[in-house]
Protein backbone atom coordinates (compact mmCIF):
# COMPACT_ATOMS: atom_id res chain seq x y z
CA UNK A 1 0.00 0.00 0.00
CA UNK A 2 1.25 3.48 -0.83
CA UNK A 3 -0.11 6.93 -0.21
CA UNK A 4 0.56 10.26 -1.87
CA UNK A 5 2.15 13.29 -0.25
CA UNK A 6 -1.27 14.94 -0.33
CA UNK A 7 -2.83 11.99 1.51
CA UNK A 8 -0.07 12.18 4.13
CA UNK A 9 -0.78 15.91 4.50
CA UNK A 10 -4.46 15.15 4.95
CA UNK A 11 -3.68 12.67 7.72
CA UNK A 12 -1.47 15.26 9.45
CA UNK A 13 -4.16 17.91 9.05
CA UNK A 14 -6.91 15.71 10.50
CA UNK A 15 -4.68 14.74 13.44
CA UNK A 16 -4.05 18.45 14.06
CA UNK A 17 -7.80 19.10 13.91
CA UNK A 18 -8.40 16.40 16.52
CA UNK A 19 -5.56 17.64 18.73
CA UNK A 20 -6.95 21.20 18.55
CA UNK A 21 -10.41 19.92 19.48
CA UNK A 22 -8.88 18.21 22.53
CA UNK A 23 -7.72 21.70 23.56
CA UNK A 24 -11.26 23.06 23.03
CA UNK A 25 -10.12 24.84 19.86
CA UNK A 26 -12.82 24.14 17.29
CA UNK A 27 -11.61 26.70 14.76
CA UNK A 28 -10.08 24.10 12.45
CA UNK A 29 -12.01 22.66 9.52
CA UNK A 30 -11.76 19.17 8.11
CA UNK A 31 -9.47 18.66 5.11
CA UNK A 32 -12.33 18.74 2.62
CA UNK A 33 -13.59 22.05 4.06
CA UNK A 34 -10.20 23.63 4.76
CA UNK A 35 -9.16 26.57 2.61
CA UNK A 36 -6.65 25.92 -0.15
CA UNK A 37 -3.89 27.87 1.64
CA UNK A 38 -4.23 25.58 4.66
CA UNK A 39 -4.10 22.38 2.61
CA UNK A 40 -1.10 23.75 0.70
CA UNK A 41 0.67 24.51 3.98
CA UNK A 42 0.21 20.93 5.19
CA UNK A 43 1.53 19.57 1.89
CA UNK A 44 4.53 21.90 2.13
CA UNK A 45 5.15 20.65 5.68
CA UNK A 46 5.17 17.02 4.59
CA UNK A 47 7.54 17.79 1.73
CA UNK A 48 9.80 19.73 4.09
CA UNK A 49 10.24 16.76 6.44
CA UNK A 50 10.63 14.23 3.65
CA UNK A 51 13.45 16.30 2.13
CA UNK A 52 15.13 16.79 5.53
CA UNK A 53 15.36 13.50 7.42
CA UNK A 54 17.12 15.14 10.38
CA UNK A 55 14.63 18.01 10.74
CA UNK A 56 12.98 18.65 14.06
CA UNK A 57 9.77 20.41 15.18
CA UNK A 58 11.56 23.74 15.53
CA UNK A 59 12.83 23.47 11.94
CA UNK A 60 9.29 22.73 10.80
CA UNK A 61 7.95 25.79 12.59
CA UNK A 62 10.71 27.98 11.11
CA UNK A 63 9.80 26.73 7.64
CA UNK A 64 6.12 27.44 8.33
CA UNK A 65 6.98 30.95 9.54
CA UNK A 66 8.98 31.65 6.38
CA UNK A 67 6.14 30.34 4.19
CA UNK A 68 3.66 32.56 6.01
CA UNK A 69 6.01 35.58 5.84
CA UNK A 70 6.34 35.14 2.06
CA UNK A 71 2.55 35.01 1.81
CA UNK A 72 2.16 38.28 3.73
CA UNK A 73 1.16 36.95 7.16
CA UNK A 74 2.13 38.61 10.43
CA UNK A 75 1.55 38.21 14.14
CA UNK A 76 -1.96 38.74 15.46
CA UNK A 77 -3.52 37.78 18.79
CA UNK A 78 -6.25 35.86 16.94
CA UNK A 79 -5.93 33.77 13.78
CA UNK A 80 -7.49 35.78 10.98
CA UNK A 81 -6.95 34.54 7.42
CA UNK A 82 -8.48 37.69 5.93
CA UNK A 83 -6.00 39.97 7.74
CA UNK A 84 -3.30 37.26 7.43
CA UNK A 85 -2.64 37.35 11.16
CA UNK A 86 -1.71 34.37 13.32
CA UNK A 87 -0.90 34.04 17.05
CA UNK A 88 1.75 31.39 16.26
CA UNK A 89 3.75 33.85 14.16
CA UNK A 90 6.54 33.80 16.77
CA UNK A 91 9.75 31.78 17.19
CA UNK A 92 9.23 28.14 18.18
CA UNK A 93 10.57 28.76 21.68
CA UNK A 94 7.95 31.47 22.24
CA UNK A 95 5.04 29.18 21.35
CA UNK A 96 2.86 27.82 24.13
CA UNK A 97 3.76 24.18 24.79
CA UNK A 98 0.42 23.04 23.30
CA UNK A 99 1.32 24.72 20.02
CA UNK A 100 4.79 23.19 20.08
CA UNK A 101 3.19 19.78 20.48
CA UNK A 102 1.38 20.25 17.16
CA UNK A 103 4.78 20.45 15.45
CA UNK A 104 5.94 17.30 17.26
CA UNK A 105 2.75 15.52 16.24
CA UNK A 106 3.07 16.57 12.60
CA UNK A 107 6.69 15.41 12.40
CA UNK A 108 5.91 12.09 14.11
CA UNK A 109 3.13 11.35 11.65
CA UNK A 110 5.30 12.18 8.64
CA UNK A 111 8.08 9.92 9.95
CA UNK A 112 5.60 7.08 10.61
CA UNK A 113 4.10 7.38 7.12
CA UNK A 114 7.37 7.98 5.27
CA UNK A 115 7.94 4.33 4.25
CA UNK A 116 4.61 4.23 2.42
CA UNK A 117 4.62 7.69 0.82
CA UNK A 118 5.13 7.45 -2.93
CA UNK A 119 6.93 9.97 -5.15
CA UNK A 120 9.00 11.42 -2.32
**Per-residue pLDDT tens digits for 53-84:** 999 999 999 999 999 999 999 999 999 999 99
Closest CA to 114 of 37, 55, 65: 55
**CA dihedral of 93, 79, 108, 5, whole degrees rounded to 10:** -130
State the Cα–Cα distance between residues 93 and 45, nearest whole angstrom. Answer: 19
Helix axes 5-22, 97-113, angle to 10 degrees: 150
Stated as kind and residue range, the H or E segment containing 44 is helix 36-51
Position 95 pLDDT exceeds 80? yes
In the chain, domain spans? 5-116
Q: Say which DSSP state 3 is in.
A: B
Global confidence as pTM: 0.91
What mean pLDDT do residues 107-115 have?
97
What mean pLDDT do residues 91-106 have?
96
**Per-residue pLDDT tens digits for 19-42:** 999 999 988 999 999 999 999 999
Amino acid sequence: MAITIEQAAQICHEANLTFCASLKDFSQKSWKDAPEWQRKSAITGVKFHLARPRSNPSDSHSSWLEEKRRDGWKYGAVKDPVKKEHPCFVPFEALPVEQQRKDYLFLSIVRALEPIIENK
